[in-house]
Amino acid sequence: MAPPLEPDNSVRVWPVRLVIARCQVDYAGRLTAHLPFATRLLIVKADGSVLVHSDDRSYKPLNWMSPPCTLVEGVDRHGEVEWVVEARNGDTLRISIQEIVSDSSYDLGIDPGLQKDGVEKHLQELLAQHPGSLAEGLSLVRREFPTAIGPVDLLCRDIEGASVAVEIKRRGDIEGVEQLTRYLELLNRDPLLSPVRGIFAAQEIRPQARVLAGDRGISCATVDYDALRGMDDPTVRLF
């Protein structure tokens, strides 16, 4: 789908189109699906994708077509307006429109996109740089230490030279403790590493996780993300 041309042939940003319409929808692709007639919100995005939303069940549309795809507006056998949205692989979305309540378009321009911050990965980088903030005298052996069931976030050594496995989460939940438990069990089979103890590190540790960790002999460390970031970049400390 090429962007629309203005009367003077200038290229304009393809707008997002919002349609409120009474419609029925049929999808044929990986599965077959049908939506009976009802009033819905139809969104045609700049990339050609189409979303069919009801007023609940967020955030997934009732039905949709992912880009790249083409939209052809035509008339069905009942003489009603029909949108046929087709993907390269033959997936087809047919929208029969009985009545249009509203139809408007807007240029949104290019979106700078989402900036994710404070994710596990960044926490891991910061803690790898400052393992001492987890326990006195802790030093890093390796980040993403490989095991057969996946990499351990941090493998460290404590002040007495004993191995310490660290699992890092933004929010410490039971599943994170379970994960660390599995790693510890595996690591402790290695006579070169054993005994390995565990530290569960998170910005926030839920009570249930804390209890489970205690039961497993795993220590918990709440991480001050902002403080760590301050240690990471000395210029921040000036303010």
Partner DNA sequence: ACGTTGATTTCGTAA
Partner DNA sequence: TTACGAAGTCAACGT
204: Cβ contacts below 8 Å, ≥ 6 apart: 170, 171, 172, 222
Backbone angles phi, psi at 122, to 5 degrees: -65, -40
Write down the least CB distance from residue 104 to its own copies, Å: 7
Binding to its own copies by residue 239, rule CB under 8 A? Answer: no
| CA–CA separation, 153 and 151 (whole Å) | 6
The smaller minimum CB distance to its own copies, of residues 50 and 134, is found at 50
At closest approach, how far in Å is the CB of 90 from its own copies?
10
Beta strand 152-157 with 196-205: parallel, antiparallel or unpaired?
A: unpaired
Binding partner of residue 157 among its own copies, DNA, none, CB under 5 to 8 Å per kind?
none
Return d(Cα 102, Cα 20) in angstroms, integer: 5
Q: Which of the choices DNA, its own copies, none does residue 81 contact, using the CB cut-off of 5 to 8 A by kind?
A: none
Binding positions for DNA, 88-127, rule CB under 7 A: 91, 93, 114, 116, 119-120
Give dist(CA 39, CA 42) in Å, integer: 10
**Residue 20: contacted member of DNA, its own copies, none (CB under 5 to 8 Å, by partner type):** its own copies
Tokens of 26: 């049929």
How far is 28 from 92, CA to CA, in rounded Å?
5
Residue 105's nearest CA partner among 61, 45, 62 is 45
Tokens of 13: 């940003």
C-alpha to C-alpha distance for 212 and 174, rounded to whole angstroms: 7
Collapsed DSSP state (helix, strand, coil) of residue 112: coil
Query: Is residue 32 a contact point for its own copies (CB under 8 A)?
Result: yes
Task: Between 170 and 216, name the residue whose CB sits nearer to DNA.
Answer: 170
Query: Closest distance between DNA and the C-beta of residue 234, in Å?
Result: 26
Residue bearing tokens 């203005």: 6
Judged by CB under 8 A, the residue of 6, 77, 78, 114 near its own copies is: 114
The CB-of-187 to its own copies minimum distance in angstroms stands at 25
- Select from 14-22, 38-46, 154-162, 168-176 the region that touches DNA (CB under 7 A): 168-176
- What is the contact surface with DNA in residues (CB under 7 A)? 27, 29-31, 33, 57-60, 63-66, 87, 91, 93, 114, 116, 119-120, 150, 169-171, 174, 206-208
- What is the contact surface with its own copies in residues (CB under 8 A)? 14-16, 18, 20, 30-36, 38-41, 43, 45-47, 49-51, 53-64, 66-67, 101-102, 104, 106-119, 170-171
